[in-house]
Structure 1
Amino acid sequence: MRIFDPHIHMTSRTTDDYVAMHEAGVRALVEPSFWLGQPRTSPATFFDYFDSLLGWEPFRAAQHGIAHHCTLALNPKEANDPRCTPVLAELPRYLVKDRVVAVGEIGYDSMTPAEDHALAAQLQLAADHDLPALVHTPHRDKARGVARTLDVLRESALAPERVVLDHLNETTVAAATDNGVWLGFSIYPDTKMDEDRMVAILREYGRDIMDRVLVNSAADWGKSDPLKTRRTGLAMLAAGFTEDDVDRILWRNPVAFYGQSGRLELDAEKPAEGTFEGNSILRGGS
């Protein structure tokens, strides 16, 4: 089983997770920029974070045969903090970087006017840079948030096939399907979706959505599991889906979506051990 996790926050994970992911079949991933849990106090902290997603994390992933890509953005939660919003003016210099395969996570958290502005501005940045967009749907009042998101998308310059609406569930999949966007599902131990619910959605909607579904672990600093992608693949097989179906969902679909950036580098061969800025993941060198 080959796996491309299209949304996982490896900054929050250990090197042991990289080892387990490779053993489970993960060969590529996308790490979206997100809220770190502790509020940032200036734009400069974003720039250091972006640099780590472009430097240290690809280096760390490569030691375990996993191709690392990222998406960059001002996330919805921090779009409400005036200390952070100057990041919008600086994003263009980062969006031209190799391995930046989309603008994201953007979207809604609390559905405020500040979030309206940040979403519209960053959808325009995606269009200007010929990049797809990874759009976060709110965890509260999700149906209303998806409807509002779709309204903004229709007014944007970005085509629906260049957008993935993430964190969907049973209440929102129909609306997203009708609007032609890609459908993202986060598989979590206790919240969001689990693998059995994901299989039930695939059974209900079948071929109408199979070519547009992205399944991710969204693993971060909370209770989450970076192997939920594999567990979903196994649940699909147990439910009668074919190996080709699993490969489509867990590999070919994320390659197709993020491939629209023209920046995927899927060579997952492990390089020789080295250092990054003088630091080795071996905590002491070879």
Structure 2
Amino acid sequence: MRVFDPHIHMTSRTTDDYRRMADAGVRAVVEPAFWLGQPRTNPGSFADYFDSLLGWEPYRASQFGVRHHATIALNPKEANDPRCRPVLDLLPRYLDKDGVVAVGEVGYDSMTPAEDEAFGTQLALAREFELPALVHTPHRDKAAGTRRTLDVIAESGIDPGRVAVDHLNEVTVGLVRDTGCWLGFSIYPETKMSPPRMVEILQRYGTERVLVNSAADWGHSDPLLTVATGEAMLAAGFTADDVDLVLWRNPVAFYAQSGRLDLSDLPAPEPSYAGSSLARGGS
């Protein structure tokens, strides 16, 4: 099994996590810019953070044979803070860099007018820089938030095939399925989406344009839930090729649209799944 985690916040993980991920077959990751857990008080804080995503974090990942790319944006939560709004003026400086494979996370947290403006502005930047967009749907009022998200995407003129609508669940997947956007799912130990629930969605909606990620942020999370989802797929009767499509080829296809995805010279995965379904012939 080879795994490309298309949305994981490695800034909040330890080097031991990188080692475990590499041992389990994770060979590439994309880290979206996001809220760090407490308010940032000036654009300089974002500049330092963006520099870390494009400098230190790729180096840290490379020590374990993991290829690291990033997405850059003013996240929805902090779009509401007037002190952070000037970050929008910084973005062109970063969106032109080689390691940036999308604009993100953009979208909604509380569906405020400030979020509307930041969302539209950053979708326009995605078009200008010919980058995909990674869109955060709100954790509250998910159906209404997803509908509003899709309206803004349509109004922006961006090609829906260059947009991943993330944090979907059973309530919202049907709203996005036929729009041409990619379907993103974050797998968590207790909230959002679990491996068994993800398998049920794949059985109902298929594997086309599906992106499965661990997010693995500051809260209770697990960077190996992508692997657990692959195991659950195999146990449910999906083929190894189905798993490879969802966990590798789909995220590669989405981010390759940036023209900046570099997966050259990656080491071949060396499965270490003793006792698991993968050790019994699943990969």
Q: Shared topology, TM-score over 0.5?
A: yes
Partner residue in 2 for 1:203? 203
**Secondary structure of 1:109 counterpart:** coil
Partner residue in 1 for 2:259? 262
1:99-156: CA deviation from partner (whole Å, max 9, x where unpaired): 1000000000000000000000000000000000000000011000000000001101
Q: Distance in 2 between matches of 1:11 and 1:98?
A: 19
Question: What are the equivalent positions in structure 2 for 1:139-178 lying under 5 Å apart?
Answer: 139-178=139-178
Range moving further from structure 2, 71-80 or 174-183: 174-183
Q: Distance in 2 between matches of 1:86 and 1:223?
A: 32
**Secondary structure of 1:240 counterpart:** coil
**Secondary structure of 2:124 counterpart:** helix
**TM-aligned CA deviation for residue 64 of structure 1:** 0.2
8 Å Cα contact 1:4-1:26 kept in structure 2: yes
**TM-aligned CA deviation for residue 267 of structure 1:** 3.1
Partner residue in 2 for 1:281? none
Aligned partner of 1:46: which letter? F
Q: Distance in 2 between matches of 1:205 and 1:128?
A: 32
1:29-77: CA deviation from partner (whole Å, max 9, x where unpaired): 0000000001100000000000000000000000000000000000000
**Secondary structure of 2:208 counterpart:** helix
**TM-aligned CA deviation for residue 269 of structure 1:** 4.3
Aligned residues: 267
**Secondary structure of 1:36 counterpart:** coil
8 Å Cα contact 1:72-1:103 kept in structure 2: yes
Unaligned runs of 5+ in 2: 268-283
> Normalized against structure 1, the TM-score is what?
0.92
Partner residue in 1 for 2:47? 47
Q: Distance in 1 between matches of 2:90 and 2:72?
A: 11
Question: What are the equivalent positions in structure 2 for 1:94-113 lying under 5 Å apart?
Answer: 94-113=94-113
Runs of 4+ in 1 over 6 A off after TM superposition: none
**TM-aligned CA deviation for residue 18 of structure 1:** 0.1
Partner residue in 2 for 1:114? 114
Q: Distance in 2 between matches of 1:90 and 1:202?
A: 39
Partner residue in 2 for 1:136? 136
Over 3 Å counting, the alpha-carbon distance change for 1:253 and 1:238 in structure 2 is same
Question: What are the equivalent positions in structure 2 for 1:29-108 lying under 5 Å apart?
Answer: 29-108=29-108
Partner residue in 2 for 1:219? 216
Unaligned runs of 5+ in 1: 271-286
Aligned partner of 1:149: which letter? T
> Normalized against structure 2, the TM-score is what?
0.93
**TM-aligned CA deviation for residue 157 of structure 1:** 2.4
Q: Distance in 2 between matches of 1:202 and 1:211?
A: 9
Q: Distance in 2 between matches of 1:157 and 1:98?
A: 24
Alignment of 1:240 onto 2:221: no
CA root-mean-square deviation: 0.8
